[in-house]
Chain A
Amino acid sequence: MASAGSDQASGPPEIPVTIKLLVAGGFGAGKTTLVGSVSEIRPLRTEEALSEPGVGVDILDGVERKTTTTVALDFGRITIRQNLVIYLFGTPGQERFWFMWDELARGALGAVVLADTRRLADCFPSVDYFERRGTPFIVAVNCFNGEQRHTPDRVRDALDLDPHVPVLLCDARDRQSSKMVFVALVEHVMTMAR
C-alpha cells in the first residue's frame, strides 16, 4: 500500500465542489427570468409517476391507475472556477408540484424566494416551506418595470419574516441586479453559519 489516495480507477479526475441554490416563488413571479439572467438556462424535464387515487377521484374499475405528470424545471449552471460549480434550480410554482420540492431542497445551500408584490400571498408557501425545513433563504422582491409598490419593510411585515431574513428589491431582467440577489443569499448563508 503505497498510497491511500486511489480507490478504483487510477488517477481519477479531480471532483468539483457542487453547490445547489434554489429559486422559489409563486407562478409568474419571474423565477425563469432570474435564473436566466445569471446563467445559461436549460429546461430540465421531470416526469413523475403518480399513483392514483388522488383526492376525490372515483375508482370505477378497481385497477390502480398510474399517471405521469411532466414538470419542466429551470436549471442553470454557473462555473465559478474549474472545480467549483453552482447549480440553480427554479422550483415549480404550482402547489400540485410539491412532490418535487423535497428532492430539490435536499442538500440545497439556500434559497431565493422571489416575490411579486402584486401577488405577495403567492410566496407564502415557499416561505413556510423553507422556514420549516431550516433552509437559509432570502426574499427578493421583483420590481417589474422598475415598479416598486412596497418597501422591503412592508414586505417583511406582510410575510411575517424573522428579523434576520434579508429582504431586498431586484429587477430579475437585469443581470447585475440578479447576481446581487445570489450574492446576498450566499452572504446570508455565511452569516447563518457563523
Chain B
Amino acid sequence: MPATEDHWLDEEAGPVVRPYALTRGRTRPTGEVLDLIALVTAVRGIEVDRVSLDPEHLALLSMCRLPASVADLAADLDLPLGVVQILLADLRSLKLIAVHHPTPPAQLPDMQILREVADGLRRL
C-alpha cells in the first residue's frame, strides 16, 4: 500500500518520484490503450514471477481477482490513469490478466438493458 505510508510530505508536495518513473519513462502502453471502463480480471492458476514484477503490478493483480474497471483500479491505487494503463498493458502482454472490452454503444442499445438502467436510476 504505497499510498498510505507515512510521509512527512503532504500531498501538496506532489509525488516524490514522478509517476512515469514507475513505467520506466514509458508514456504509452504496449498495444491498444485500455478503455477506462474495460474490465480487467487476473487470470487464475498462473504462477506469477513476483521478482520480475514491480510492486504496483502485483498490487494491480491482487486488486483484479474479481473483474475491476481500469478507472476503478487507477482511483483505488491513486496513480494517474496513464500510468495504470501502461502497467496493465504489461500484465496483459505477460498474459496475467484478461481484458474484457466494453460493448461499443453502437451495439449496446439493447433496449432491455437501457430500460433497466433508466429504471435503476429512477429508484436511486
- Which residues does chain A contribute within 8 Å of B69, judged by CB atoms? 18, 85, 87
Picked from B72, B78, B108, the residue with its CB within 8 Å of the CB of A45 is: B78
Q: Which residues of B contact A68 (CB under 8 A)?
A: 18-20
The answer to whether A104 and B36 touch (CB under 8 A), given A13-B41, A190-B115, is yes
Asked if A109 is an interface residue, CB under 8 A from chain B, the answer is yes
Complex Cα distance, B122 from A81, in Å, reads 13
Contact with A along B92-121 (1 / 0, CB 8 A): 000000101011110011010111111011
Inter-chain contact A45/B74, CB cutoff 8 Å: yes
Whose C-beta in chain B lies nearest to the C-beta of A108?
B105
Name B9-37 residues within 8 Å CB distance of A. Answer: 18-20, 27, 33, 35-37
B66 at the interface (CB under 8 A from A): yes
- Contact status of A9 and B114, CB under 8 A, knowing A45-B81, A87-B71, A179-B124: no
Chain A residues near B37: list those with CB within 8 A: 18-20, 87, 107
Q: Tally chain A residues at the interface, Cβ within 8 Å.
A: 51
Q: How far is the CB of A54 from chain B (nearest CB, A)?
A: 16
Instruction: Please judge, given known A-B contacts A87-B37, A107-B104, A189-B109, whether A80 and B120 are in contact too, CB under 8 Å.
Output: yes
Q: In the complex, which residue of chain B has the Cβ closest to the Cβ of A193?
A: B109
B-contacting 9-mer, from A144-152, A161-169, A180-188: A180-188
B residues near A (Cβ < 8 Å) are 18-20, 27, 33, 35-37, 39, 41, 43-45, 66-67, 69, 71-72, 74-75, 78-83, 98, 100, 102-105, 108-109, 111, 113-118, 120-122, 124
Given A19-B102, A77-B72, A106-B35, 18 further pairs, Cβ under 8 A: A12-B41, A17-B113, A19-B108, A20-B102, A38-B124, A42-B75, A43-B75, A45-B80, A46-B80, A46-B81, A47-B80, A70-B80, A73-B81, A81-B116, A87-B69, A179-B124, A186-B114, A189-B105
Residue numbers of A with Cβ under 8 A of B are 8-10, 12-13, 15-20, 38, 42-49, 66, 68, 70, 73, 75, 77-78, 80-81, 84-87, 89, 103-104, 106-110, 175, 179-180, 182-183, 186-187, 189-190, 193
